[in-house]
Amino acid sequence: MERFSKIDSTGDEAKISTDFDSVALGRWIRHYRKAKGLTLDQLASTIDASPSHLSLIETGQREARVTMLAKIAAALDLPLASLMSPPKADRRTELTISLEHAQRSDLYSSLELRKVRVGPNLPNDALEALVGLHQELVRRSSIAAATPEEARKANAQLRISMKKRNNYYREIEAEARNLLTAVKHQGGPLGERRIEQITRHLGFELVYVPNLPHSTRSLTDLKNRRIFVQESGSTGRDPRTIILQALGHQVLQHQPPNNFADFLRQRVEVNYFAAALMISEEHAVPLLQRAKDGRYIAIEDLRDAFSVSYETAAHRFTNLATEHLGLQVHFMRVHENGTIYKAYENDNLPLPADSLGSIEGQLACRHWSSRTVFQAKTPGVSFFQYTDTPNQTFWSCAQTEQTSNGHFSVSVGVKFADSKWFRGRETTQRTRSTCPDPMCCKEPAAALQEKWAGYAWPSAHAHSHLLAALPPGTFPGVDATEVFEFLESFS
Ligand SMILES: [Zn+2]
């Protein structure tokens, strides 16, 4: 406050003298605001002004009072003087200021490099390049800093947004419908020939290679519009899904992900895209509707009608169930050791969550069908169960499948009242679950507790995929050197 009493000794409410360049001032306020990552609304609320007023100041259409300027300067952590005497706002000055800010950052200090002084002899293009490098450094470090905590948080937020839209993505359904119409698909399974047609329709060529880079499932060469995929299906994944997911990134106009949340969202969208092509809404909905009318909805019917895996059919069912059948559902993919790998619900099944709201990596209740199905030891056969919880009863169906990472269960369920639409509702299998109450299944029975507490020292399996720090890079876990060398060998 003392500093600006010199500038204006007549009183706080005096306006800045009229020879002051309010356009340049406004531009500088905007520059500093953006540099601090604040929106117009955020800065306006900090200084108790309306966003429209602040906007007029920033565009130089209104002169700011000194009190206002002092508040703005304080909110932007700047001495008032730097707002009162803004330099000429040409490109070079902007770059100079950006560079000075960047060189003062903790990130730059941590590199222990010398600071570059911007003198008159430093050419503009060098200055541009330096500022560009700093911006890229900030972007990359924010990706590399994706800790398991951030990954879980991103995951939890993504699930909230999926639940909000009932796991139904109208705009992706539309893209899939247009493509299927373009290749005149008549329904039923999407065969390899159709996949080729879709690829060609989008202006890409499929190239099967024996040596795809290890860290990739597919690789798209945007320069020559080629999609490389592994020759033999040794990955255990449906090659159709891999190709459609690769195309999905292009059709949905994805940009290189800015952060881990972006990466996850894109992955969900291309998964959705691939499933929407393989199990088309146009043909699946009438099939499901007929099944509901006849009270025999079954995931395996969807699986068989479209020649997909049980998991793909089960997951796709969650896309269409609420939107088209008015059914709230839950879905889970759980490892034989109880760890949840994927989960979704909009029927209020109490899924376990960690403090950040993430469900992946938590243990599913031992009494849910996603766990009890393993005791039935009937791989490939549907298992049905009613599960009583303190609030309501659920019905669910489950199947197990073997993968190179062990056995997994895939389960889909609904509230008791909706079980009447499903095949398998007559089951007598019934369990009771009170999770998250620790006495349900997480804590050993009292007798066992008494006998063994203090006498067991297990050595734990580490779930490296859940706990390891996420690998850095625009595409987490992808070895860029390997990828570029691969593309180079084909050019
Ligand atoms: Zn439990």
> Distance (Å, rounded) from C-alpha 48 to C-alpha 71?
9
Nearest-CA neighbor of 337 among 236, 460, 453? 460
pLDDT of res. 246 = 95
Phi, psi for 249 (deg, rounded to 5): -60, -35
> What is residue 308's three-state secondary structure?
coil
- Asked whether the predicted pLDDT for residue 22 surpasses 80, the reply is no
**Mean pLDDT within 393-416:** 94
Beta-bridge mates of residue 350:
none
> Distance (Å, rounded) from C-alpha 83 to C-alpha 104?
19
Q: Residues lining ligand 1 (ion), CB within 5 A?
A: 365, 433, 435, 440-441
Task: Look up residue 227 and give its two tokens.
Answer: 């999609």
- Asked whether the predicted pLDDT for residue 320 surpasses 70, the reply is yes
Place of tokens 């520059």: 31
**Mean pLDDT within 320-340:** 95
Between the CA of 365 and the centroid of ligand 1 the distance, in Å, is 4
Strands (E), 254-377: 330-335, 340-345
CA 201 to chain centre: 28
Between the CA of 330 and the centroid of ligand 1 the distance, in Å, is 16
Between the CA of 442 and the centroid of ligand 1 the distance, in Å, is 6
Between the CA of 187 and the centroid of ligand 1 the distance, in Å, is 42
Percent of the chain at pLDDT exceeding 70: 87
Between the CA of 434 and the centroid of ligand 1 the distance, in Å, is 6
Question: Does an H or E element contain 63, and which?
Answer: none
Beta-bridge mates of residue 415:
394
The helix, strand and coil proportions of the chain, stated in percent and rounded to the nearest 5, come to: 50, 15, 40
Mean pLDDT, the chain, as a whole number? 85
- pLDDT tens sequence across 37-57: 888 898 999 898 888 889 888
Between the CA of 405 and the centroid of ligand 1 the distance, in Å, is 24
User: Please, which residues have CB within 8 angstroms of residue 257's CB and are 6 or more apart in sequence?
Assistant: 143, 263, 266, 474, 475
- Asked whether the predicted pLDDT for residue 466 surpasses 60, the reply is no
Higher pLDDT, 1 or 202: 202
- Asked whether the predicted pLDDT for residue 261 surpasses 70, the reply is yes
CA 119 to chain centre: 44
Q: Name the residue type at position 177.
A: R
User: Please, is 110 exposed, middle or buried when counting C-beta atoms within 10 Å of its C-beta (0-12, 13-18, 19+)?
Assistant: exposed
For the chain, list the domains and their CATH numbers: 2-113 (1.10.260.40), 150-278+478-491 (1.10.10), 299-443 (3.30.450)
- pLDDT tens sequence across 99-119: 887 888 777 887 888 888 877
The count of residues in the chain is 491
pLDDT of res. 469 = 45
Between the CA of 367 and the centroid of ligand 1 the distance, in Å, is 6
Higher pLDDT, 401 or 89: 401
Between the CA of 401 and the centroid of ligand 1 the distance, in Å, is 23
Phi, psi for 272 (deg, rounded to 5): -60, -45
**Mean pLDDT within 346-372:** 90
CB 178 within 8 A of CB 198: no
Percent of the chain at pLDDT exceeding 90: 45
Nearest-CA neighbor of 279 among 400, 185, 410, 379? 185
Give residue 438's pLDDT band: very low, low, confident or very high (50, 70, 90): confident
Between the CA of 85 and the centroid of ligand 1 the distance, in Å, is 66
Between the CA of 428 and the centroid of ligand 1 the distance, in Å, is 20
Between the CA of 252 and the centroid of ligand 1 the distance, in Å, is 40
- Asked whether the predicted pLDDT for residue 6 surpasses 60, the reply is no
Give residue 19's pLDDT band: very low, low, confident or very high (50, 70, 90): very low
